[in-house]
Amino acid sequence: MANSHPLKNMVDYLFLKYPINDLYNHDTITKEGYQENYIPDIIEGILDLDSVGVKPDVESVAEIQITTEVSDEKRVNVTLPDLPDINEYINYLEEVWDSKWLTNDGQFVQLLEKKLKEFMGLKKFLLVSNGTLALQIALKVLNIKGSVITTPFTFAATTNSLLWERLNPVFADIDPETFNIDPEDVERKITPDTTAIMAVHTYGNPCDVERIEEIAKDNDLMVIYDGAHAFNVQYKNRSIFSYGDISTLSFHATKAFHTIEGGALVTKDAEVEEKIKLIRNHGIDTSIEEVILPGTNAKMNEFQAIMGLCNLKNIDRSIQIRKFIYECYVENLQDLDVKFQKIQASQYNYAYMPVCFEDEKTRNRVELALSQMGYYPRKYFYPLTVDFEYFKSRSKDLNRRFDLKAATDVSSSVLCLPLYPTLSSADVSKIVSIIREVMT
């Protein structure tokens, strides 16, 4: 197996954008020295350069090849949590320890909620303990009944939340380019029993929110957006969470921004906001110490919140690194028979790297070849939730299974490649090399 494809590796790609002599402000670094550098180090230099207005000189670029040997003991997963400096976390931890206030709307939960509101430009934003509970609370607070039109190309939590609330999921197909729910199929599947649409911003890519909301308005339907992947994403320079009746987020450890476990709800309605506050705390109105509606325990604790505060300080840099890795994959794979998701965001977070191959057989060959070399991509999302046996036995929508052609095609051919801020340039180059060898 070749170590790298000529001029198709991370080193060459970054050299073309940012020559090393400019990046490190000294004579061009040796090939051997460069091999020890990781993408985060490169990005840090780039951000410093940008701040002083240094522009790369592409004329000075040399063709460079590096080896990309992988240790037999090495395992590169599809994602790794983005962790802050441990000392920074410990400093916060000591404050929590000294306060002896570990949960129940502590000072750091309040602080994180305030900072995230400001960061994303949102007014009614409420933290909860995880993204799945956020979905369930959204359905509960809007008093959704009957059938809800949703996507089968999603994580199990989306469909689970509907079944948990004793609702009937009706599955609409997806757009084969954006991988999001197809608004025209949503409209076709509306019946007198339909009360809401639950759409997912797949991999953080904004849905066709304008068309979905037009359909909802015409048919008197509620709209819930599952924005688990969509932290700080914008559509037409507006937060994606400003659409719909309620949007939800997940801050699970694998997300672009995380609090270990965690989530949030966003709404524009003051009455809905107050109900969410009650529901996440057992339905208790603390001003009168009385349960005034059925609630649950969805409170974020202080340990989650301080992780979020640490990560928020580094989120811009983290997303910039993700962007460079994402662009490198695209640059080095785009001449193959693959398809990339059509991104509709004006501001994106590069949380995932989905690649669709020509068919399921090719996808599986690529996955096997990568795993044999210690790289573990993920068939995400596969299978469709409509194909899980448990869901099959409980959905009344089985007669519509044949309508899901685009979702079936994407699910059977997609593979999410490793993407996280500490992924090395050598690993990205090796992943590209393995994929190219399988497909050429």
**Per DSSP, what are the bridge partners of residue 224?**
198, 246
Under 8 Å CB-to-CB from 227, ≥6 apart: which residues? Answer: 200, 201, 204, 233, 240, 241, 247, 248, 249
Task: Please say whether the beta carbons of 246 and 240 come within 8 A.
Answer: no
Report whether CATH 3.40.50.300 matches the domain 10-80+313-439. no
Domain range list for the chain: 10-80+313-439, 86-310
**Which one is the CATH code of 86-310: 3.90.470.20, 3.90.550.10, 3.90.400.10, 3.40.640.10?**
3.40.640.10
pTM of the model: 0.85
pLDDT in the model for residue 395: 64
- Residue 333, SS3? helix
Which amino acid is present at 231?
F
> Residue 194 half-sphere exposure, CB side, CA atoms within 13 Å?
24
Q: What is the pLDDT along the chain (440 residues), one digit of tens a residue?
A: 334 443 344 444 454 444 433 333 333 444 344 444 444 455 454 444 444 333 333 333 233 233 334 444 579 999 999 999 999 999 999 999 999 999 999 999 999 999 999 999 999 999 999 999 999 999 999 999 999 999 999 999 999 999 999 999 999 999 999 999 999 999 999 999 999 999 999 999 999 999 999 999 999 999 999 999 999 999 999 999 999 999 999 999 999 999 999 999 999 999 999 999 999 999 999 999 999 999 999 999 999 999 999 999 999 999 999 999 999 999 999 999 999 999 999 999 999 999 999 999 999 999 999 999 999 999 999 999 999 888 777 666 554 555 899 999 999 999 999 999 999 989 999 999 999 999 98
Mapping DSSP to helix (H, G, I), strand (E, B) and coil, where does residue 127 land?
Answer: strand
How many Cα neighbours within 13 Å face the side chain of 121? 9
Peptide bond into 241 cis (omega under 30): no
Side chain identity at 29, as an amino acid letter? I
Residue type for position 132: T
Q: Are 219 and 188 within 8 A, CB to CB?
A: no
What does the pLDDT read at residue 112? 99
**Whether the Cβ atoms of residue 118 and residue 167 lie closer than 8 Å to each other:** no
